Structure 1
Amino acid sequence: MTGIWKADWVEPRSAALLVVDVQQGFVNRHSRGVLPAIVQLIESWRAAGAPVVLTRFHNKQGSPYETITGWTRLRSPEEQALATELAPFAADATAIIDKDQASVFTPEGAQLIRAAGWTDLVLCGIDTDACVYDSARDAYHYGYRPWIVTDACASTGGAQYHDAALLMAARNISPNHLVTSESVLSRITGPKGASA
């Protein structure tokens, strides 16, 4: 299902790495395994001098997540905190977007992306079937090119939800926009580890 990273893909400096909601409250037995891939992406992206944006989800009291779904997690500071593995990157991030919705396209997020002039958004994080997918879909509808790094995303609900989200993304965005960490890293570092 994973597409091919196109040779004419823009320079990393024209794109942002969006690390979506990798927070303590979203790290569980289904999602923990993607943390090393996410850390490697962030380290390589930063080494290339390209922008890294971290997002954090906050489930406000009275939100639709509570009133419709009955979901009341991600309220405490402990659950909202970045995963321990990502905490060292917070100080040097291009931006940290706090949001109370799934998509990164809050007014603040949309303004940041527009003002920066990024054309491509490379997405990784948790949950593939919620915040990652919704951000990718919105990016597509706003005219940005979203790239979902399939092995650097996970669903707290398990593999079936992760796979379902990728199937939907392949249909509604493009199978060519589903990429692997290996393809992203090869694009960032270039041949034999040289900077792109």
Structure 2
Amino acid sequence: MIPSSSVLVVVDVQNGFIRPPSAPVVPVIAGLVEHWQQESGAVVFTRYLNYPGSPFERMIHWEKLQESPETDIVPDLAALAEHSITLDKRIYSLFSPEGAQLVKERGWTDLYICGIATESCVLKTAVDAFELNLTPWVIADASASHAGQEAHDAGMLVIRRFIGAGQIIRVSDVPLSVNAAV
């Protein structure tokens, strides 16, 4: 049984973020979510939704992920997401006002974070959790970047510097009650 103070956060595993460098992480995440749910653990999927005039569009000139099918959770995870909480967001982090309220209401203190992209949304969620005095655990082998290995590695470097090397784990490091079947 997963402690009620723990949550698995699956960040932005959406069609629009799947590329050859990020695709291999999807079955790893699916296995982790399946087992987490079997152990009655809470799971939150985040879904990034871009919009016309967003900072992403205005400053980065990035207009993707404004509508389906790009914004949809990938097919391999869609059914699992139906048995979880899905939080739509317009920022990098889980910690939009709605996300922060959800974490507070549920009493989650340990956030096991995985998903796409390591160097942006995964990193920002972990750092925000850290700054809110929560305990983020970034699952390195269940995270990836659609921009490639170099971007993933850069994200991991910054995560180590921001929240500590000890907060980066692998699926096999997730507490035994969680990873027994993974």
TM-score using structure 2 length: 0.95
The residue number in structure 1 matching 2:119 is: 129
SS of aligned partner of 1:79: coil
Where do 4+ consecutive residues of structure 1 move more than 4 Å?
A: none
The residue number in structure 2 matching 1:4 is: none
**Aligned to 2:46, which of 29, 44, 55?**
55
CA RMSD of aligned residues (A): 1.2
What amino acid maps onto 1:183 in structure 2? D
Instruction: Say whether the 8 Å CA contact 1:12–1:188 is kept in structure 2.
Output: no
What amino acid maps onto 2:76 in structure 1? E
Q: For the residues of structure 2 that align with 1:99 and 1:91, how far apart are their CA atoms?
A: 17
SS of aligned partner of 1:150: strand
The residue number in structure 2 matching 1:29 is: 20
Q: CA deviation at 1:159?
A: 0.4
SS of aligned partner of 1:132: helix
TM-score using structure 1 length: 0.89
Q: For the residues of structure 2 that align with 1:26 and 1:66, how far apart are their CA atoms?
A: 16
Q: CA deviation at 1:12?
A: 3.5
Q: CA deviation at 1:21?
A: 0.3
2:173 is aligned with 1:183: yes
User: Once the two structures are aligned, what percentage of the paired residues are identical?
Assistant: 39
Q: For the residues of structure 2 that align with 1:67 and 1:130, how far apart are their CA atoms?
A: 18
**Aligned to 2:155, which of 145, 153, 165?**
165
Q: For the residues of structure 2 that align with 1:42 and 1:96, how far apart are their CA atoms?
A: 13
The residue number in structure 2 matching 1:17 is: 8
SS of aligned partner of 1:125: strand
Q: CA deviation at 1:183?
A: 1.3
Q: CA deviation at 1:187?
A: 4.4
Deviations 1:61-94 (A, max 9, x none): 100100000000101210000001011112210x
The count of aligned residue pairs is: 180
Instruction: Say whether the 8 Å CA contact 1:48–1:189 is kept in structure 2.
Output: no
Sort the Cα spacing of 1:76 and 1:36 in 2 relative to 1 into closer, same or farther, 3 A.
Answer: same
What runs of 5+ residues in structure 1 fail to find an aligned partner? 1-10
What amino acid maps onto 1:146 in structure 2? P
